[in-house]
Amino acid sequence: MLQNLKDKALLTSLKEIAKKRTTQIIVPGVNYIPVTGKVLDEDDILFGVDAVLDGWLTAGRFSVKFERELANYFGSRYSFLVNSGSSANLLAFYALTSPKLGDKQIKAGDEIITVAAGFPTTINPMIQYGCTPVFVDIEINTCNISAEKIEAAITSKTKAIMLAHALGNPFNLNIVTELAKKYNLWLIEDDCDSLGATYDGKKTGTFGDLSTLSFYPAHHITMGEGGAVLVNNNKLKKITESFRDWGRDCWCAPGVDNTCGLRYCQQLGDLPDGYDHKYTYSHIGFNLKATDIQAAIGLSQLKKADYFIERRRQNHNKLYSLFKPLEEYFILPEATPNSNPSWFGFLLTIKDSKLLNRNKLVEYLEAEKIGTRLFFGGNLTKQPAYKDVNYRISESLSNTDKIMNDSFWLGVWPGLNDDHLQYIFDKTYVYIKNSI
């Protein structure tokens, strides 16, 4: 695969440099323990260098191979590489607004079932397009949507369900997919935090019509910035590609012309007969492509995905066993039944906020050089950005508010080991015994 690095002396020198750049030492109590992080090796760096030496830079041979291998990894029909997970969510949602979908086209004013507990770019595309998010409450122990409450939120305006698998823990795909089928709704899985998770033995990301991934350094594999859309509905393949690539009707790869053989002999829209198909646009799209350098690094990372996922599970299990004796103070995370999560973080929810103050606890942990994060935006309806947004709340968001006020999560990424996790627990234990 390394076409440009055949000189043995050069390759050896580059490997030595890359190894120094990717070696990380985190000593508990001495160095800050990040809540997330990337794990790189010399191969990742060398793949990136090889892509640079091609001189092509934009999507090329590595992008083609990455998209193919990513789809194969999931068992998905297609995958499309983009420049971020947020762009992946934008692309997946906008693909469903295509006029080519007829009666199933999502239009401004339609309603989308989702949750307010999570990352904003899961819901931003629907708002930006003029749709109405309909927020359903979550379960505290899984942090996922209360699936049994979804049906009551569905109306004649509902066109889709768009949900993230919270912190790598799958939502109840049995109920959600049944409802999507019953009411003829699109399903978009935000799989950005859950690469490699399974439900009923099948990978998440393959249940929805479309699914999204993120390759930011905090995520399961990384290419720096980057993301992807998995397409499991054959009709959506060309539509998704069009929205990613400026909205054009042509599907030629960069630097390639006349794939269809009809470049100058079509008449589309009100354009003149024979107008260049390469500059004919069937959607109001974007340019969301990634570079081949990103794809090269991602391709190398993908080879290690299963190892990274297993390390996350091991670290999550270790933290669970450590914190189990503190259940009188914390609600511990639970895997959704029938699932095997690919954990993104270890969520702790304080049971009684009169005994423990979440903000003071995380401030203490940060001072002890332990990274923490809240559950992203908490309740997004409380965020200043959404003050004047048109949305609807189904029933109440009491559990969402509980997570917003009393939850935080700790790191489980593969760069952490038992010494780091023991230190995290020990410092938390000391705080609780000194505070209660």
* CATH code for the domain in which residue 115 is found: 3.40.640.10
360 and 315 in a single domain? The answer is yes
- Name the token pair of 30: 């001495």
139 and 228 in a single domain? The answer is yes
Q: What is the pLDDT of residues 89-104, one digit of tens each?
A: 999 999 999 999 999 9
Which of these, 127, 95, 124, 87, lies nearest to 111 by C-alpha position?
127
pLDDT the model gives residue 78: 97
Question: At 248, is the secondary structure helix, strand, or coil?
Answer: strand
Mean pLDDT of the chain: 96
343 and 280 in a single domain? The answer is no
307 and 255 in a single domain? The answer is no
Range of the domain at 85: 60-291
Query: Catalytic site residue 219?
Result: yes
Which ranges of 96-245 would DSSP assign to H, the alpha helix?
124-129, 150-153, 173-182, 237-244
307 and 276 in a single domain? The answer is no
**Domain-embedded: residue 176:** yes
344 and 280 in a single domain? The answer is no
Contact between 364 and 218 (Cβ < 8 Å): no
Q: What is the pLDDT of residues 405-416, one digit of tens each?
A: 999 999 999 999
Position 165 pLDDT exceeds 90: yes
- Name the token pair of 140: 């505290």
107 and 69 in a single domain? The answer is yes
pLDDT the model gives residue 6: 80
- Name the token pair of 46: 């060398």
**Domain-embedded: residue 155:** yes
Active-site choice (165, 219, 220, 316)? 219
Of 226, 257, 291, which one is at a domain's C-terminal end?
291
Question: At 427, is the secondary structure helix, strand, or coil?
Answer: helix
**Domain-embedded: residue 87:** yes
Of 291, 313, 335, which one is at a domain's C-terminal end?
291
CA distance 260 to 263: 7
121 and 268 in a single domain? The answer is yes
**339: CATH:** 3.90.1150.10
How many domains does the chain contain in total?
Answer: 2
Residues 6+ apart with CB under 8 A from 27: none
Contact between 371 and 411 (Cβ < 8 Å): yes
**Domain-embedded: residue 4:** no
pLDDT grade for 134, boundaries at 50, 70 and 90: very high
**Domain-embedded: residue 29:** no
- Name the token pair of 301: 């990372």
241 and 322 in a single domain? The answer is no
- CA dist 230 → 70, 127, 208, 214 (Å): 9, 22, 9, 11
**What is the rounded average pLDDT of the residues 313-317?**
98
326 and 362 in a single domain? The answer is yes
Contact between 217 and 135 (Cβ < 8 Å): no
- Angle 44-46-51 from CA coordinates, rounded to 5°: 100
Position 276 pLDDT exceeds 90: no
CA distance 348 to 334: 11
Single-letter amino acid, residue 244: R
Burial class (CB in 10 A: 0-12, 13-18, 19+), 9: exposed
**Domain-embedded: residue 38:** no
CA distance 380 to 124: 11
Q: What is the pLDDT of residues 242-273, one digit of tens each?
A: 999 999 988 887 778 888 888 999 898 999 99
Of 291, 310, 332, which one is at a domain's C-terminal end?
291
194 and 130 in a single domain? The answer is yes
pTM for this predicted structure: 0.95
**Domain-embedded: residue 250:** yes
**Domain-embedded: residue 36:** no
